[in-house]
Amino acid sequence: MKIREEKVNDAAVCFLEGEVNINNTPELRKAFDGLISKGEKKVIVDFSAVTYIDSSGLATLIEMFQRLKKINGRLRFCNMEQKIKNVFEITKLHKLFDIADSRENALKDF
């Protein structure tokens, strides 16, 4: 998995590429640690190049959601392929997370 970060307005956009799985979630957690320590409170994860996610990936996102919530921050996702969205729907995590269809929509009223 590759992680690319960029700043759009006052949001930090985390662009993930490849598979999010148990072997690379420590890397993702480290990237999220970096965003928290930089004081980022609005984080968007762009899923457009994510091909796979397992329960460990979901757990890391829940962790980040909770960390941001504690500091009155927000986490949004965008550009999920249907097969990835299905994983969120099966586990009902689409009810917990804010999932936008595009990056533009994720940035709206954020």
Partner 1 sequence: MHILEYLPSSLEVVPRFVPAVIDKLKDCGLTKEELFDVKLSLDEALVNAIKHGNKSNPELKVSVNIEVKDGMLTMEVADQGDGFDFTKIPNPTEKNNLHKNSGRGVFLIKKLMDRVEHFDCGRKIKMVKFLKIGGKK
Of 22 and 71, which CB lies nearer to partner 1 in the complex structure? 22
Gap between the Cα atoms of 20 and 23, Å rounded = 8
- The DSSP secondary structure of 55-81, one letter per residue, reads HHHHHHHHHHHHHHHHTT-EEEEE---
Q: Is residue 109 within the footprint of partner 1 (CB under 8 A)?
A: no
Q: Which two tokens stand for residue 35?
A: 């965003």
- Least distance between partner 1 and beta carbon 85 (Å): 12
Q: Which of residues 50-79 bind partner 1 (CB under 8 A)?
A: 52, 54-56, 58-60, 62-63, 66
- Least distance between partner 1 and beta carbon 10 (Å): 26
